[in-house]
Structure 1
């Protein structure tokens, strides 16, 4: 069948748009596109350019081209970088192994139409409505060593003592991970619950007739069938782990990473807006983080597309 008639129909329909329609389309497409260019792509390109320079962030005339020296410094003088990389890897593994599966488990349970499902959904998803900064302030109150809820519960049960959850370098990263997981679980639950709502219930019934129990039905029927949702969840989990900043910034007390809380995002911020401004060095770190993110997500998506094509 020739596509010529359909293409001609599209052209006629486009020509039939009035001036008001064209202005409306230009506005609704142009404004988001301009915002994307202004707030995403231009800063990204500026960071790429500044990563090859040295600059104190005050006078434009003080920008000096130094080539790859910032990247050489990162990989030769790497002690500040290594703890941040380690903690980002821990963040990724923790998020992928605990709150993400737990969110999927909650979604599967709530999809079974138990009593008070809507109440449970609202309660679990509520932290997602809050920004990460607000979540950080809430957990800062919970972790307060003197008046915090957590120490209060431990003291009331007689099993705890004065614990500085955010000041102890051996505990503070895990405390922040728990706070982040509280929010992340609700997000994953809603994503997976949306996928389950579009799942064909006849497949579950067929699996039940074949003698499969609930766990077998989920692992062998439901989970493989929701592959597009699984890909989205994996991408979201990786991106959330790599760009973790807000909640650590709040719980860590602002610029200047506490020992045990070092992350790549905080290291970038410390170098760009910290007391000793090294914008070129911080921009080089930002470029590396961007490349790592693109490599991780791009590799997975390419492999997935290839499998689907085969």
Structure 2
């Protein structure tokens, strides 16, 4: 076995777990460090064991021996191994009988599928998150139609600038532990736009009144953007969700005092509000904006004067 021990520095460089064992009884001659780690067994103890000791299903030992006798090789078989403490885990195992200086050997390599499965789940989650983020951006572009930094009708910023500010404020909030909230206000009884009247239409008049009210109710650090025809989004740095809720209540109360003429009759302005805030574990504004959209959808279903919060 002196010859086999000379292979120890070599097999320690192998990325996967590697064992050299007896084809007859599975007694382990050599093992690299990763195999010792995954089997939770010190190398000195591992060399006293058989590879078959780490099979939780003892019938599997018979199946492996029979398959190796017939094919001389097993490649990437999904199965279970157990650690020296009895914890089972999923592996991909390959094995082959070889002759080394006329000494028959069983070479076994295996990789932990648990880590691969977790990594796959993380990649799937990341892909889903990216898809949702892209859908939000797509929706904001389609509904708002605003790629400029400023909305021409109201003078508030466009969604392109708000998104840039949202990322910057999220980074600032994470760095200094500040709160960050978002508020979406949607007018629910907006009149039809009359293109012939253009700037003098009731539609444009109400939109301007609503944007002016949002600007008057916000602070210098806040950012008001027009998201779609009748929806405004307000980014609220240094503001917990309770402060955003209070602002939403004030906006709804003030809007109810606004009136506009449409088809010869006087109408009262009304709106619904969705609110969300950045969570401590979030490093991107996208999840908050996604909840903000969901909150506004629920508020829209409730109708005028509804406020829905999704922290």
User: TM class, shorter-chain normalised?
Assistant: under 0.3
Larger-gyration structure (1/2): 2
Q: Which has the higher strand share?
A: 2
Instruction: Output the TM-score relative to the length of structure 2.
Output: 0.25
**Higher RCO (C-alpha under 8 Å, 6+ residues apart):** 1
Comparing both structures, which one devotes a greater share of its residues to helix? 1
